[in-house]
Structure 1
Amino acid sequence: MIRRHVVVHGHVQGVGFRYAARREAERRGITGWVRNRPDGAVEAEIEGDEASVTAMLDWLATGPPGSIVERTDVAEHEPTGEPGFTITA
């Protein structure tokens, strides 16, 4: 299992990004969380097997229809064994 912290920059708020990310994470068996940041970015932590996390990172780099992702910043974190995937405040 691996865990990554991701900050997604661009036009990513107000387009359903967090809800689409939760659906995508659940589809891939990813755990973690996603939230909006005050600076207009979306932040997430994702955990799962390497192939699923890599695929989720690819999805985050594109986002759902209506979003415009300019860049993603990714950092490695230690897995926590967190259950489920949530949208946080």
Structure 2
Amino acid sequence: MLKKQFVVYGIVQGVGFRYFTWKKATEIGLNGIVKNQRDGSVYILAEGSASQIDSFRDWLSHGPPSARVDRVEENDYSGTHSFGLFSVEH
């Protein structure tokens, strides 16, 4: 299993981005979390197979129709915590 951190920038808060991210991650079968950050970006930690992460990364590059994604930063997650079902954190 791969663990990746994503930070999505653009118009991604107040447009349902976390909900649609949860929906897509659940559809793909990922574990992890999504949450808003104070700087207006959205933080995502996703855990899954390489093909699941690839599919999710492709979706994140444009997000839902209500959002405008300017850029996505991606890093490996080196923590040892394992996540259950994908969830939205507040």
User: What TM bracket, shorter-length normalisation?
Assistant: over 0.9
Instruction: Tell me whether 1:16 sits opposite 2:22 in the alignment.
Output: no
The TM-score, its normalising length taken from structure 2, stands at 0.94
After the TM superposition, which parts of structure 1 deviate over 6 Å for at least 4 consecutive aligned residues? none
SS at 2:72's partner residue? strand
Q: Which residue of structure 1 aligns with residue 77 of structure 2?
A: 77
Deviation at 1:80, TM superposition (A): 3.7
What is the CA distance between 1:81 and its match in structure 2?
3.0
CA shift digits 1:6-30 (9 cap, x unpaired): 0000001111000000010000000
Q: How does 1:34-45 map to 2 (within 5 A)?
A: 34-45=34-45
State whether structure 2 residue 67 is matched by structure 1 residue 64.
no
- Report percent identity of matched pairs: 35
Task: Please give the secondary structure, in 2, of the residue aligned with 1:38.
Answer: coil
Task: Tell me the distance in 1 between the aligned counterparts of 2:48 and 2:69.
Answer: 23
CA-to-partner distance for each residue in 1:56-79, whole Å, 9 max, x for gaps? 011111100111100001000146
- TM-score, normalised with respect to structure 1: 0.95
Q: Which amino acid aligns with 1:18?
A: R
